[in-house]
Amino acid sequence: MKRSLLAATLGALTLACGTPDPSKDDPGTIPFDPKRPTPGTTSEVTAYTGSDVDVLGAQLTYPTGIDLHRKLVMRTCSGTNGVCHNQKEYPDLHTPGAFVASIGAPCNVQSGTASGVFDRCERLGDRFRFTEPAFKGIEIGWFELVPGESPELDPRGTRPDASTVGLHLYLHDPVPVEGVRLNATGTFLRNFINDQGNVQELAFASYETRWWVLDDRRHLFAEVNENQRDTVESLVASGIVQGDQNRNGSYGARILGNTVPLIKPGKPEDSYLVARLRGYMGEQTVPGTRMPLANQPPNVQDMLALMCFIEGLDPAATQWSLGSAIDYNKCSYSANPSALSLAGSGDTWAARVLPILQSNCGGCHGGENPQGGLNLLGSSHDVYTRLVLKPSLQKPELNLIQPGSLDKSYLVLKLTGDGSIVGSRMPINPLNGNSPLPEAERQSIENWVLLSGAVEN
């Protein structure tokens, strides 16, 4: 009984993680009908007929989600070494089916490293309890199986610590049991939605051994003897959901309220995939290397297609098709596509932001003794590294540039003259005291910080 439950769980997890299925790589076996309505010919989607070259270009290159998968996702994910699907850190988006399956699917399910996990990908963890002495299940923050020879442990002498060989569980709350050592069966619990649509608690695995209650009673250590190794390995492989998968003490699903999926229908800004391309989501930096690692980064038109595709997915639907036309006409990002630049053109660091700073600010912020201790002259890279994620001198609690946040980027606040700044609004005009930057230039800096994640390109 226990085995079959475990097997069922394993099956479900494998699906969720999108293990690459080589048989689907062959375009001849793509499991749907690649219908491609040309924009304008379907009843709901009217073609964009405006004059923005990026919108027109995106519409031409990426009329449907299928094109988006074939020409953009495959390029950024598959690359020479299959960046996305060979590394656990990345979701497998190799087939159109896997791409569709990533809509609404959890992110960072099988991250290679704990630190690569984004808080907002953390789901509510599975729970743990002892069968006897019983207590209410406690959320699992994270676990670690420390490999090696099991040591001799002795209640009066050697006690386990965080590095002791065996299974370590770190829980959200202290376990309400007496003493430090007990022989007990630990049970792992998860909620399922049953056929009637009700939430049902299921014990999906259990482990009987000698347990130690350590530290603040939220750290449990389970002894693993030679003959228990297989049991523990299959327990670990069953994919216990960890509420604090990145081990930073914050439980993403609890603290931030909403866990984000890989692709959130209707909400590009809340889609991990987009955040991963940009390097940030909202005001948070997304850990890990920005995708794509090795391939040509997406340009404005690529990003526009992705954003409009996601925005056009119906959040109320349960199934989506890549075959529908992407609605560039209704898409909100069509209003200002150049702001979506991650590289190459539009509001980029090298082509736009740096020249604005150097010509408007360099006169005072340069040379031997730059005003305000801020030097905005020098090589592109030097200036960039002085600003991004570097604290301001006037308000050290804020960085000069905080990717993804205007309110937390002190340099931006100095340009708008926001009430909380120290000193004057910038740029100071030595003749009349103050004359703000032209609106278009300030907008470019803001786009670069907010929409392009202040990347150096």
Q: Decide: helix, strand or coil at residue 141.
A: strand
Residue 409, interface with ligand HEC (CB under 6 A)? no
* 343 versus 357: smaller Cβ distance to ligand HEC: 357
Residue 393, interface with ligand HEC (CB under 6 A)? yes
Residue 276, interface with ligand HEC (CB under 6 A)? no
* 331 versus 400: smaller Cβ distance to ligand HEC: 400
Residue 423, interface with ligand HEC (CB under 6 A)? yes
**Minimum gap (Å) between residue 347 Cβ and ligand HEC:** 15
Q: Output b/e per residue, 406-427; b: 16+ Cβ within 10 A.
A: bebbbbbbbbeeeeebeeebbb
Residue where the block lists tokens 């937390």: 408
Q: Decide: helix, strand or coil at residue 11.
A: helix
Q: Which two tokens stand for residue 68?
A: 């988006």
Would the CA dihedral through 261, 264, 269, 271 be positive or negative? positive
Query: Which 5-24 positions form the footprint of ligand HEC (CB under 6 A)?
Result: none
**Minimum gap (Å) between residue 355 Cβ and ligand HEC:** 12
What is the CB neighbour count within 10 angstroms for residue 160?
21
Residue 181: its H or E element: strand 181-193
Choose the binding region for ligand HEC from 17-25, 261-269, 303-311, 364-372 (rule: CB under 6 A): 364-372
Residue 359, interface with ligand HEC (CB under 6 A)? no
The whole-angstrom separation of Cα 309 and Cα 72 is: 12
Residue 367, interface with ligand HEC (CB under 6 A)? no
Phi and psi based region of residue 128 (left: phi greater than 0; alpha: psi -120 to 50; beta: remaining): beta
* 329 versus 402: smaller Cβ distance to ligand HEC: 402
Q: Which amino acid is at 340?
A: L
State the SS3 of 74-107.
HHHHHCCCCHHHHCCCCCCCCCHHHHHHCECCEC
The whole-angstrom separation of Cα 448 and Cα 417 is: 19
Residue 366, interface with ligand HEC (CB under 6 A)? no
**Minimum gap (Å) between residue 40 Cβ and ligand HEC:** 44
Choose the binding region for ligand HEC from 100-108, 147-155, 223-231, 358-366 (rule: CB under 6 A): 358-366
Phi and psi based region of residue 31 (left: phi greater than 0; alpha: psi -120 to 50; beta: remaining): alpha
Number of residues counted as binding ligand HEC (CB under 6 A): 25
**Minimum gap (Å) between residue 426 Cβ and ligand HEC:** 3
Residue 443, interface with ligand HEC (CB under 6 A)? no
Please identify which residue in 118, 143, 272, 410 interacts with ligand HEC, judged by CB under 6 A: 410
Cross-strand pairs, 98: none
State the SS3 of 328-364.
CCCCHHHHCHHHHCCCCCCCCHHHHHHHHHHHHHCCC
Residue 365, interface with ligand HEC (CB under 6 A)? yes
Q: What is the DSSP string of 216-247?
A: TTTEEEE---GGGHHHHHHHHHT----TTTT-
Please identify which residue in 102, 246, 334, 360 interacts with ligand HEC, judged by CB under 6 A: 360
Residue 275: its H or E element: helix 272-278
* 129 versus 414: smaller Cβ distance to ligand HEC: 414
Residue 354, interface with ligand HEC (CB under 6 A)? no
Please identify which residue in 394, 416, 443, 457 interacts with ligand HEC, judged by CB under 6 A: 394
Q: Which residue is nearest to ligand HEC (CB)?
A: 423
Show the binding pattern over residues 298-327: x = contacts ligand HEC (CB under 6 A), - = does not. ------------------------------
Please identify which residue in 83, 220, 325, 437 interacts with ligand HEC, judged by CB under 6 A: 437
Please identify which residue in 31, 315, 430, 433 interacts with ligand HEC, judged by CB under 6 A: 430
Choose the binding region for ligand HEC from 160-168, 198-206, 249-257, 393-401 (rule: CB under 6 A): 393-401
Provide the binding-site residues for ligand HEC, judged by CB under 6 A. 357, 360-361, 363-365, 371-374, 392-394, 400, 410-411, 414-415, 423-424, 426-428, 430, 437
